[in-house]
Amino acid sequence: MFTPEQFPNNPLRSRADLQRLLHDMVDPILPHFSPGCAQVRLSDNRALYGDPPGWLEGYARPLWGLVPLAAGGGAFDHWELWRQGMASGADPAHEEYWGLTGDYDQRSVEQAAFGVALAMAPNELWHPLAPEVKQHLSAWLQNINKVKLVNSNWLFFRVLVNLGLRRCGEPHSMELIAEDAEKLDSYYVGDGWYADGSTVGNSGNDGRTGDYYIPMAFQYYSLLYAQLAADFDPERAARYKERARLFAHDFQYWFTADGAALPFGRSLTYRFAQGAFWGALAFADVEALPWSVIKGLYMRHLRWWMQQPVFSETGLLTIGYTYPNLLMAESYNSPGSPYWALKAFLPLALPESHPFWQAEEAPLPKRRAVHTVPGAKLVMTTDPRTREVTAICPGQPVLDWPRHAPQKYSKCAYSTHFGFSVRASSSTASEGGLDSVLSLSDDGRFFKHREQCMDVEVRDGVAYSRWQAWPDVELRTWLIADSTGHVRIHHIKTGRKLWTLEAGFATNWYRRATVDNAVPGIVRTPHGASMVQNLLAECEAGSSEVGANSHLLASLSFMPTLRSEHKLGEFWLASRVEGAADPQTDFTASPGFTVEESAGFVCVLRDGEIWWNMNNTPCGESSPARLKTLEELV
């Protein structure tokens, strides 16, 4: 019987603890199987693709955890439910038939779990099936070879299905495996990083970088491939492992000392799939970092998530991030979607004797306080006081997909401690999800969040981009990072009157009496302190509430702001933005940043000395003193 304490009380120190966690997560799903066992109906809300794909998702996604359990010899008493589901769901004559996969179909996404199941757990999910069931299932899976897939990480789904069919001696396409692998390789941008689709002729839907589809999809599936296809494609398997080694050295910067990962990008409801890459390294036997470090990153991440209220009263994973929240969800999230989190259980396929399981967890290693990641187009900073993580972001060329795309990809900064908000209703200061970004308005009431950012570049801890907010309004932004905050420089050229809203991090609260916004431009709550300080133009400092339930980390939050009003022409804005976990942080004790503007050029001074100045390159020029700080370890 489920009890709310069983997740946070699991110590998650051993392989046995991880097995118990998987059982505790899967058991609440069991009562939701349909009579024919081909559908798992967890709730009444729907994703954009409707039924039966949504019910198939609830059936298939637990397999991402159960299959490694089986491969590692773990016990599970309910395989018959999934076998019966295969018999019903793959049978065209059965009322619970899943239906043939069409072009760009969600069924293709879920078929990947079947491919991995056939490859890794045939004794549970293939050999016991009746000949007729095998025939139906094989035919249903083979249909993926006849349809179009999104040219993105989706191509891995067909690769994995064909690997599973091959392992079971069923008809498969080696040609499509090779063709899809080549296309996926074309998305590689270097240093272990991929773009999620082609960036050529970008429509705003493809080619996103830096989000979790790189670790939990490209890298994760690559490492599965490296193990499952090594017998016939050793060259690519070795290449994938080397890319994973490179990637690990950057990706460690996404995690805090206590295991939290940076909230950034889409599909955040998959939660601890964020850390699945660390387990995949172990599965593929890639010691990209010392095993003790990899194990520490992996286990702390799981422990952090188990302390969050992400489960329903019956033990089901909910849609949301650190609490149930449909507002931040994607249009493609069904009640079964969060169970992609079970990708994190891949190390259960390994024996207890593997070096990963034998290693003692090591704490987060020392690393650069400011680390530029060109492949992700982000600048990662680690606060030396708390080892919380902030990503300084130039933005991406995303428009209206995925849902809340500007808020998920184009804020000026993202933080493990402060999270971010999405748009709740109209695009006003409080409801528009306008924290941690400069927004523009041409009527003083409704604001545009930064989006469709172009000419993006990151270098030496500086992020640059350009945004054409309206045909006659251009915004160029420079973000200059340091270990405890960042300076924002904006140049705006406008053919219309504008109102600007510069916002710092939104900090969470639960009781209104605990919100301290008495000092303009600073907000303090028990969760932390957030500041935005004007450095150049005339601005009115203040604060604003953030729409209820629009924030990823808590239902209520408050953000510091700077507001200004401008006539037609050109003007500059500059500010200093900081956030701290300690609510009593004295921001006046921070380094003294000032900004000077002359003849169309800007320079940033720190304690009276030039820190950064604009030149003819997108990211400008940093002083030797600033460049030296980029090498500091924290």
Say what the pLDDT of residue 203 is: 53
Report how far residue 370's alpha carbon sits from residue 459's, in angstroms, rounded to the nearest whole number: 11
Over the stretch 573-583, which tens digit does the pLDDT of each residue have?
999 999 999 99
Over the stretch 459-483, which tens digit does the pLDDT of each residue have?
999 999 999 999 999 999 999 999 9
Report how far residue 467's alpha carbon sits from residue 450's, in angstroms, rounded to the nearest whole number: 7
Query: Partners of 480 in the beta sheet?
Result: 462, 487
Ranges of CATH 1.50.10.10 domains, the chain: 15-358
Q: Hunting for tokens 């949301």 — which residue is that?
A: 320
Helix (H, G, I), strand (E, B) or coil at 369: coil
Distances (CA, A) of 565 to 169, 335, 496, 573, 594: 69, 45, 11, 11, 21
What's at 545, amino acid-wise?
A: E
pLDDT-based confidence at 27, cuts 50/70/90? very high
Over the stretch 202-213, which tens digit does the pLDDT of each residue have?
555 678 999 999
Q: Hunting for tokens 């003819």 — which residue is that?
A: 616
CATH fold of 430-629? Beta-galactosidase; Chain A, domain 5 (2.70.98)
Over the stretch 387-406, which tens digit does the pLDDT of each residue have?
999 999 999 998 788 999 99
Cβ-contact 400, 205 below 8 angstroms: no
Express the helix, strand and coil content of the chain in percent, nearest 5 each.
Answer: 35, 20, 45
Mean pLDDT of the chain: 97
Report how far residue 255's alpha carbon sits from residue 274's, in angstroms, rounded to the nearest whole number: 10
Q: Taking residues 195-219, report their average pLDDT.
A: 84
Is residue 442 over pLDDT 70?
Answer: yes
Cβ-contact 416, 533 below 8 angstroms: no
pLDDT-based confidence at 201, cuts 50/70/90? low
Q: Taking residues 484-496, report their average pLDDT.
A: 98
Share above pLDDT 90 across residues of the chain, in percent, rounded to a whole number: 96
Say what the pLDDT of residue 198 is: 84
Angle at which helix 131-142 crosses helix 79-89, to 10 degrees, equals 70
Say what the pLDDT of residue 45 is: 94
DSSP state of 526: T
pLDDT-based confidence at 251, cuts 50/70/90? very high
Say what the pLDDT of residue 591 is: 80
Is residue 151 over pLDDT 90?
Answer: yes
Tokens (6 digits) for 256:
């805090």
Say what the pLDDT of residue 329 is: 97
Give buried/exposed letters for 502-539 (b at 16+ CB in 10 A, else e). Answer: bbbbbbbbeeeeebbbeebbbbbbebbbbbbbbbbbeb
Question: For the purposes of burial, counting CB atoms within 10 Å of the CB of 234, is it exposed (0-12), middle (13-18) or buried (19 or more)?
Answer: exposed
Q: Taking residues 515-539, report their average pLDDT.
A: 97
Cβ-contact 506, 554 below 8 angstroms: no
Say what the pLDDT of residue 400 is: 80
State how beta strands 413-415 and 462-470 pair: unpaired
Cβ-contact 428, 450 below 8 angstroms: no
Task: Please tell me the CATH code under which domain 15-358 is placed.
Answer: 1.50.10.10
Ranges of CATH 2.70.98.70 domains, the chain: 430-629
